[in-house]
Structure 1
């Protein structure tokens, strides 16, 4: 039997972090799945392999507390009780109480409020000079929306953004001591706020999701973990998809077409916010290419690589605002399909449409500043000008 293919792809290499897609293309041309010794896991590069990993129930999310466990308990506590870090039946029990809040009908009822919040944020922008569209618009909008849905006071919006960014940096390869310390402190502060809000809602119920969760069979730790997950996931996905997609469009002189929802799907595919999602085998599994994964071995689904697979997407490295067929995997598939996908899609459609409606001459005002992270890919700062004119007009 031939030996399994291997890859030495360095996910911490600044060149890979800056633009992983040429590296993914090289790997994908050689193998669908390969062993990555530095991380001790299998990397999957094709759409078929990544999809298979996410759909196979024998490949699960099995949370293992980060070490040293005592010091990292605030961080571990939030994760071991999250639906994303558990498999059925625990996953089902944790997911069910929040699923109704993200049903299509409920999300549609939120659409006018999302549009109003987006308009308020743009009203505060001084469009006569360059501004950071991430700080002024992309970051605050999803935080305000999910906080309002949950029942977290708007005055905590800035704290939520800071805590979220500190926690998610722990998902990157080999976080350093400063990242670990910041994540533990953020987890502690975040949990304390949510516990206080849960206690208040038990005394004074309101029309929000924290009240609903506080009245379920979930324990306090599970309610806290659910709220933190929803705030983090609701913030990070929307912010990074918006920033990545906007930069891609403005660099190419593109504008959304009549079907803004189709443009949003392309933003999700073209430069995925979540690049890596890890699973662990609970039984022997055979992946594409004849690779056998043994119990206890880890598999990393590289979503960005899957979303540029030429076997599935015509002209995969081209940003097509009207792409008709777009089976991207940005929100995952299977039991862990992103619960907030309908809300994220609606938020992005409304915010992108309104931005270009209000500021049709939008253009980059400098080189965007990357967050410098691989797993959660995004921009820290994107300076734009509202008076740049359409690129074709500027070149005329």
Structure 2
């Protein structure tokens, strides 16, 4: 069915602040809705989202099977090339066999042990940031803790010198602006400039690590091989950029949205204060209850059917993660924020599913546990000072600031 534009208004700041009533309406109205402004099919139900994430009849790209013209699409403009080359060589936007090959190589360098060895660094960085905020009597938790922590962790992991790290967040913010629905010319120019600058920086760093390797992920990506197969320089650059962009956006916004949920549900905050062992369950509930990534796009490579609606090849589906995570068919009392909801049964889709399941999910969970755990142990009594202003972004959703105090 074609969706009335008044139901789904993603460019509205009010909608971004609370899309969940609209999701309830979408789920009640059906399983697939055509949204003319973005020419996408909206998929709001958990079972459909979960199934389509794993369905090989869909893809993040179509170029492994079709040309732009064969697929009925217009090639991206030439002036976007720095961004498209960077984006199209990252794991998130590749399909098999290229995806399988690169993920296999990257996984040899970015191992569970890599994440485990980062734990002391994450704990130290979190403690430093939180202690500073507490000593000042409060401030903007978003700018003082949520943003710098994951950037610092990923920079440490990649081996980026401390003096260069201030550039990472602006580069990432500019590039991820292109993931919003119908980004404008200003967003495109900013993304291109950031792509050129960040790619150039990483190429120089990779060259330096080739002659003087260290104990960092870039050095590991250079060294990794599988039966003689190695990552190209472009594949390494795109992998590093993806780790920053995808890895820190999720953690930044889950931190602020998680604290906002706790402030609005003080009984749940008391549970985590009284029973610290519940934090693992609590982190998964934060990811489910108010996921930072609301929508994930995929191309339809062969005709599919969703709830009796045929979605033809060449279409684009928008899988509504935020709606799927509040679907009462999957989650009991889905609109209730409950940090005691068992993690083993909290099968949210916030990290995706299938071959594009987030490679950095273990690192994100480590950072979130360290951040929330440190706040709960060493800076209890934190309070929200004012209701936050929401960013206008919808796909990657969050607040502009979170003012807290003691």
TM-score, structure 2 normalization: 0.90
1:208 to 204, 216, 219: 216
Q: Distance in 2 between matches of 1:160 and 1:138?
A: 14
Q: Which residue in 1 is equivalent to 2:20? A: 21
Stretch moving more, 210-219 or 26-35 = 210-219
Alignment CA distance shift 1:156-1:210 (3 Å)? same
Match of 2:259 among 246, 256, 263: 246
Counterpart check, 1:134 vs 2:127: no
- CA deviation after TM superposition for structure 1 residue 238, in Å: 0.5
Secondary structure of 1:71 counterpart: helix
| Among candidates 299, 321, 343, match of residue 303 of structure 1 | 321
Secondary structure of 1:277's aligned partner: strand
Shift of 1:156: 2.3
- Superposition deviation, residue 42 in structure 1: 1.0
- 2:301 corresponds to which residue? 282
Q: How far, CA to CA, are the matches of 1:264 and 1:137 in structure 2? A: 17
Q: Aligned runs of 1:133-282 on 2, under 5 Å?
A: 133-216=141-224, 217-253=230-266, 254-255=268-269, 256=272, 257-258=275-276, 259-282=278-301
Cα distance, 1:371–1:17 mapped onto 2, change above 3 Å: same
Contact 1:63 1:86 in 2 (8 A): no
Deviations 1:70-121 (A, max 9, x none): 2111111111111111111100112122224444343223212211111122
Do the aligned partners of residues 340 and 247 (structure 1) sit closer, same or farther apart at CA in structure 2, a change above 3 Å counting? same
Q: CA deviation at 1:349?
A: 0.8
- In the alignment, structure 2 segments of 5+ residues that lack a partner are 69-73, 225-229
Alignment of 1:358-377 (within 5 A): 358-377=378-397
Distance 1:103 1:322 in 2: 30
Contact 1:143 1:235 in 2 (8 A): yes
How far apart, in 1, do the equivalents of 2:112 and 2:215 lie? 19
Aligned to 2:331: 313
State how 1:338-353 maps to structure 2 within 5 Å. 338-353=358-373
What residue is the counterpart of 2:227 in the other structure?
Answer: none
Rounded to whole Å, the distance in 2 between the matches of 1:172 and 1:144 is 25
Contact 1:371 1:379 in 2 (8 A): yes
C-alpha contact (below 8 Å) 2:294/2:321 kept by paired residues = yes
Post-superposition Cα deviations, 1:336-356, rounded to whole Å, max 9, x if no partner, equal 000000110111011101012
2:300 touches 2:313 (CA, 8 Å); kept in 1? yes
Q: Give secondary structure in 2 for the equivalent of 1:87.
A: coil
Deviations 1:43-82 (A, max 9, x none): 1001011111101011111167997622111111111111
The answer for unaligned runs of 5 or more in structure 1 is: 388-396
* Structure 1: distance between partners of 2:232 and 2:325: 38
The answer to whether the 8 Å contact 2:43/2:318 transfers is: yes
CA contact (8 A) 1:54 1:334 kept: yes
Measure, in 1, the Cα distance between the counterparts of 2:217 and 2:138.
37
TM-score by length of 1: 0.92
Over the aligned positions, Cα root-mean-square deviation in angstroms equals: 1.8
Matches within 5 A, 1:46-61: 46-61=45-60
Q: Report SS of the residue matched to 1:344.
A: helix
Q: In the alignment, is the contact (CA less than 8 A) between 1:102 and 1:342 conserved in 2? A: no
CA contact (8 A) 2:13 2:391 kept: no
Q: 2:141–2:403: 8 Å Cα contact kept in structure 1?
A: yes
Contact 1:63-1:80 within 8 A present in 2 as well: no
Deviations 1:270-291 (A, max 9, x none): 111111111111112222x122
Aligned residues of 2:16 and 2:390 also touching (Cα < 8 A): no
Greater alpha carbon shift after TM alignment, 349-358 vs 4-13: 4-13
Q: Where does residue 71 of structure 2 map in the other structure?
A: none
Cα contact 2:2–2:36 (8 A) shared by 1? no
Aligned to 2:375: 355
CA contact (8 A) 2:213 2:219 kept: yes
Q: Structure 1 residues 70, 305: CA separation in 2 closer, same or farther (over 3 Å shift)?
A: same
Contact 2:130–2:379 (CA<8 Å) still a contact in 1?
Answer: no
